[in-house]
């Protein structure tokens, strides 16, 4: 059986970081997912291949073993190498010439991993003992996009993943890009092994009113010229609801007000919140009457007199 270059399959360098591998896998998984390519056998096989690559490179221990084996695996399989840290007799002919035939072909079944994978990582290595080795099912990965209001208040969502409908609870304060693990919602285990998990990545839907930075919110509020000059109350919209705030007199355009505790809730600490930073945008009055223009002119003249 041939060596499989998992780095090449995911399109990353051998020194790629864990985040690089995760990003590459997510991009390919979305592209070749069976839901996007129904009845496409080539895409289905590619999807299995990139999942196998991610199963190895996304696990530090498996990646370390894979990197130590390298492309010399075929040679070691036949001859062994006494200078290695591995017990190469496992890969030599001492176990007998037992086949590694594919035991299945359906996604989520026995054929999810290639013979190479199962030989290297011990899932089906020959002998009667191989049939008793339990293996946890493959983890599924999916994404969900939620509006900022649901991030703030929390919500319950129904999603469909691999033909199963799931009801999930999203706690307030979940972070953009945070991965939620739903245990037992992945592929079935092999030979009685535990079922895999569903790794659900949360993405924030675009919100035109707010920018999120960690637990803080940033927004812009419009304040009329008269309130900016004289000071007063202003009703603003927040994720908590409409709030009445104080605008100091002689407020300058671009001033940022810090509203404590009106930011995003902290995940699993719903009683704690970040802050809301509101930038003031002063709006000028339109369609002034002759009397208003005269008053502004009078104020202008008064200002000149006081400054002389």
Cβ atoms 211, 222 nearer than 8 A: no
Please give the mean pLDDT across all residues of the chain.
79
| pLDDT bucket at 45, cuts 50 / 70 / 90 | confident
Work out the percent of the chain whose per-residue pLDDT is above 70.
78
Predicted confidence (pLDDT) per residue in 186-201, tens digit: 888 887 788 888 888 9
Please state which of the ranges 23-27, 95-99, 211-215, 291-295 shows the lowest mean pLDDT.
95-99
Sign, CA torsion 239/244/246/252 = positive
DSSP-assigned states of every residue in 75-137: HHHHH--TTSSS-GGGGSGGG----------STTSGGGS-HHHHHHTTSS-SSGGGGG--BPP
Q: Can you give the pLDDT at residue 77?
A: 47
pLDDT band at 150 (very low <50, low <70, confident <90, very high): very high
| pLDDT higher at 86 or 75 | 75
> For the chain, how many helices (H) and strands (E)?
9, 13
For the segment 246-286, what is each residue's pLDDT rounded down to a tens digit? 999 999 999 999 999 999 999 888 689 999 999 999 999 88
Question: Could you tell me which residue, 124 or 121, shows the higher pLDDT?
Answer: 121
Look at 132 and 135; give whichever has higher pLDDT. Answer: 135
The token duo for 52 is: 């196998």
68: confidence class by pLDDT, cuts 50, 70, 90: confident
Is residue 162 within 8 A of residue 141, CB to CB? The reply is: no
- Cα angle at 83 between 82 and 84, to 5 degrees? 95
- Asked whether the beta carbons of 32 and 46 are under 8 A apart, the reply is yes
- List of domains in the chain: 6-132 (1.10.287.110), 140-204 (2.60.260.20), 211-307 (2.60.260.20)
Q: Helix 18-32 crosses helix 41-57 at what angle (to 10 degrees)? A: 160
Rounded distance between C-alpha atoms, residue 112 and residue 104, angstroms: 8
- Per-residue H/E/C for 208-226: CCCEEECCEEEEEEEEEHH
pTM recorded for the entire structure: 0.53
| pLDDT above 70 (res 291) | yes
pLDDT for residue 121 is more than 90: no
Nearby residues of 306 by Cβ (< 8 Å), 6 or more positions away:
none
Please count the residues of the chain. Answer: 308
At 84 the pLDDT is 42
Amino acid 217: pLDDT: 96
Of 17-21, 81-85, 125-129, 235-239, the least confident = 125-129
Q: For 106-110, 129-133, 297-301, which range has the lowest pLDDT when averaged over its residues?
A: 106-110
Listed range (52-66, 130-144, 179-193, 227-241) with the worst mean pLDDT? 130-144
Give the tens place of pLDDT for each residue, 201-242: 999 999 999 999 999 999 999 999 999 999 999 999 999 999
């Amino acid at each position: 059986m041939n060596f499989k270059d998992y780095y090449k399959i995911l399109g990353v360098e051998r020194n790629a970081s864990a985040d690089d591998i995760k990003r590459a896998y997510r991009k390919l998984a979305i592209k070749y997912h069976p839901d996007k390519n129904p009845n496409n056998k080539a895409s289905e096989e590619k999807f299995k291949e990139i999942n196998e690559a991610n199963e190895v490179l996304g696990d530090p221990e498996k990646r370390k073993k894979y990197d130590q084996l390298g492309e010399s695996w075929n040679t070691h399989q036949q001859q062994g190498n006494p200078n290695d840290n591995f017990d190469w007799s496992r890969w030599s002919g001492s176990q007998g010439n037992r086949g590694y035939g594919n035991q299945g072909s359906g996604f989520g079944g026995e054929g999810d991993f290639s013979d190479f994978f199962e030989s290297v990582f011990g899932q089906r290595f020959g002998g009667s003992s191989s049939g008793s080795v339990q293996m946890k099912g493959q983890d599924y990965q999916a994404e969900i996009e939620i509006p900022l209001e649901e991030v703030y208040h929390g919500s319950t969502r129904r999603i469909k993943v691999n033909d199963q409908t799931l009801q999930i609870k999203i706690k307030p304060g979940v972070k953009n890009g945070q991965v939620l693990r739903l245990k037992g919602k992945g592929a079935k285990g092999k030979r009685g092994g535990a079922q895999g998990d569903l790794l659900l990545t949360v993405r924030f839907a675009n919100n035109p009113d707010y920018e999120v930075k960690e637990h803080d919110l940033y927004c812009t509020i419009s304040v009329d010229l008269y309130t900016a000059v004289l000071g007063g109350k202003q009703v603003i919209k927040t994720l908590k609801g409409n709030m009445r705030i104080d605008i100091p007199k002689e407020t300058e355009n671009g001033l940022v007000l810090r509203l404590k505790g009106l930011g995003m809730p902290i995940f699993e600490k719903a009683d704690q919140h970040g802050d809301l930073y509101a930038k003031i945008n002063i709006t000028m009055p339109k369609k002034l009457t002759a009397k208003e223009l005269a008053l502004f002119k009078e104020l202008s003249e008064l200002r000149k007199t006081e400054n002389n």
